[in-house]
Amino acid sequence: MSQAKQTMSTSFVEYRGRGFWSFDGYLEHALAVLADRIGDSPNDKWLTDLRDHWRNQSSGAFRGWIHPNLDEFLPTEERREQVLDLLREVLSSTRLTREAQETLKLIEALLRGHLNTDASSALEYMVSGPHPYKWVVGQKKSNEG
């Protein structure tokens, strides 16, 4: 086993008491793409705060401790629906690696209430792929895949 595989860190993504484990590189990529989709001038301050938080979390500085803070940023159904709309846009129009796409689908399932897993659940759902992950933290959106 390579050293990269041995040290690949993971973070738990949680919303309303449920969640999933993800390799950090995949989660960073997914959050960066979502932050880019929010854009430079969102209409709502909470979206600006969410974008900035997700950009920070995708920076590579939080290995093993990435927190999208879904409960904090999505306390209402309206906000949850707005992020689900972002997810649909990203999944339908962006060229992504399989790992980032599957991670985004897990986030979508979590927000829809379709995941019943928690931090102690078996990891059968966990997205797997090559390590080290080929996406580089901080890539521009023109190089998302």
HEC letters along 34-86: HHHHHCCCCCCHHHHHHHHHHHHHCCCCCCCCCCCCHHHHCCCHHHHHHHHHH
Q: Which DSSP helix (H) or strand (E) runs through 23?
A: strand 18-23
Q: Specify the amino acid at residue 56.
A: N
Q: Is 142 part of any domain? A: no
Q: Is 22 part of any domain? A: yes
Mean pLDDT by 10 residues, the chain (145 residues): 55 96 94 95 93 93 88 98 97 88 97 95 84 61 43
Task: Quote the pLDDT of residue 94.
Answer: 72
List the domain range (segments joined by +) for residue 21. Answer: 12-134
Q: Is 108 part of any domain? A: yes
Q: Is 6 part of any domain? A: no
Q: Is 21 part of any domain? A: yes
Q: Is 125 part of any domain? A: yes
Task: Quote the pLDDT of residue 78.
Answer: 97
Q: Is 2 part of any domain? A: no
Task: Quote the pLDDT of residue 22.
Answer: 94
Cα–chain-centroid distance for residue 37?
13
Task: Quote the pLDDT of residue 6.
Answer: 43
The number of folded domains in the chain is: 1
Q: Answer whether 24's CB lies under 8 Å from 134's CB.
A: no
